[in-house]
A and B are shown apart, each in its own frame.
Chain A
Amino acid sequence: MMYEIIFGLMALGITLSAFRLLKGPTLPDRALATDTANSMVTVVIVLLALYYKNMMFIDVALVYGLLSFLGTLAISKYLLGKQMGDR
């Protein structure tokens, strides 16, 4: 029962940031909304590990967190007109 409440709260949060992702007037808005949704999805994966009692999901969450960080940095480099590796 408790897990369902927490999943509901996370679903509400992800829906609100998806609204900003669809509406956002500029590209940095969409990048921010994507980053927010990514951090919440990382948390949801850890909660799924508890829900299904399978601790392998935590490794998935680790890789997801690292890759979402790299994606954010790549988007900001693209906004500056540079490529990964430039100063």
Chain B
Amino acid sequence: MMLETLGFGIMIIGGIISVIGSLGLVRFPDVYSRSHAQTVVNVGGACLMLIGAAFEMSGVTSIAKIAFLILLVFATSPVGTHAITKAAYKSGVIPKVSKDEWKPMSEKEDKKAGAEAKK
């Protein structure tokens, strides 16, 4: 009984964090700051909800599957977000900042990749 109540508490906290992250997805100005809100939903919200759901389960098999699912979400969501933001920068979405510090390094990287492609 105690564990179920604890699980529901964790799940409600995770749901509130998910709603806050989605609000950030709506209100932030450009892709790069929206990716921050998306990570809040994925790692904070979804992982907390899954941990809370594991408290409600009975049986070793389903708890092991939930643990694997938490590991999966925790490992894959930063990789996907990083891939999308890098692709956004390379495909020409300009960040809304006063000084773009990544620009010279990105040009150097492009030049290096071009030289390797010529070889």
Contact = CB atoms under 8 A, between A and B. Distances in A.
Contacts of B90: 79-80
Contact of B91 (A49, A58, A79): A79
A36 B81 CA distance: 10
Contacts, number: 153
Given A13-B18, A62-B68, A36 B84 contact: no
Contacts of A50: 53, 56-57
Interface in B25-73: 25-26, 31, 34-35, 38, 41-42, 45-46, 49-50, 53, 56-57, 59, 61-62, 65-66, 68-69, 72-73
A36 to B, nearest CB: 5
Contact of B61 (A35, A39, A42, A55): A55
A48 to B, nearest CB: 10
- Bin the interface of chain A by size: 35 or more
Given A20-B25, A55-B59, A58-B62, A69 B49 contact: no
Given A2-B8, A29-B31, A76 B87 contact: yes
Nearest to B92: A26
Nearest to A8: B15
B10 to A, nearest CB: 11
B6 interface: no
A63 B79 CA distance: 18
Contacts of A26: 31, 88, 93
B38 A32 contact: yes
Interface of A: 2, 5-6, 9-10, 12-14, 16-17, 19-20, 26-29, 31-33, 35-36, 39-40, 42-43, 46-47, 49-50, 55, 58-59, 61-62, 65-66, 69, 72-73, 75-77, 79-81
5 contacts: A6-B11, A16-B19, A42-B73, A73-B83, A76-B87
